[in-house]
Amino acid sequence: MKDDVKEWIKECEPCQRAKVEHRLPMGMMEIAKPRHIFKTIYTDYFGKKLKSTGGNCYAFVMVDAGSCWLDVLLTEMAEVDTTIAQIVKFTKRWGYPRTIVSDNATTFRSERFQAKCAEMGIVNKYISAYHPQGNLAERLNQALKTCILAYIDGHQDWDKHI
């Protein structure tokens, strides 16, 4: 009879809907490991409060997912033209990446940026909104910013040393 009751409960639809799940919650998703270097690039801007004597306020950061190679361009403004110029410069040195991953900033969402990427055969991917952990460049931005802020105390020429 015990087996009959178990079988009946297994097949009882209202019982299944009311039943509490007792499995462990799923773990974190694993990040896909890149197979090739310079094929997936993470990008981001940081700055605004770091004005230097050279007039630079922003750093445009590009990080390769395969090798963690870091490119940093210092600039006065976080603009589409600056972003495109840096990506073109990157492609001349390392070849065309397959994918560029960025946050949802207007610079990366602009039609001009998307058109230039499409022209170069690059796929744009965006991290989830309000989830900066999805962008490898964000973590490196944090480390770079810490170094700059530690140096900046009394030294406004930090941009000459990057």
Residue 125 covered by a domain: yes
**H-helix segments, 95-135:** 106-109, 111-119
Owning domain of residue 106: 35-160
Looking at the domain assignment, is residue 79 inside a domain? yes
pLDDT string in tens for the chain (162-residue length): 788 877 877 777 776 777 666 676 666 666 667 778 999 999 998 877 677 777 777 888 999 988 889 888 888 888 899 999 999 999 999 999 999 999 888 999 999 999 999 999 999 999 888 777 778 788 888 887 777 777 666 666 666 666
Q: Could you tell me if residue 101 is inside a domain?
A: yes
Asked whether residue 92 is assigned to any structural domain, the reply reads yes
Residue 59 falls within a domain, yes or no? yes
Q: What is the CATH number of the domain that holds 132?
A: 3.30.420.10
Q: Which of 13, 83, 122 is nearest to 73 (CA)?
A: 83
Number of domains in the chain: 1
Question: Which tokens hold the place of 55?
Answer: 């007039």
Q: How many angstroms separate the CA atoms of 139 and 137, rounded?
A: 6
Asked if the structure places residue 25 within a domain, the reply is: no
Tell whether 13 is covered by a domain: no
Distances (CA, A) of 162 to 56, 64, 71, 78: 12, 18, 10, 18
Model pTM?
0.73
Instruction: Report if residue 16 sits inside a domain.
Output: no
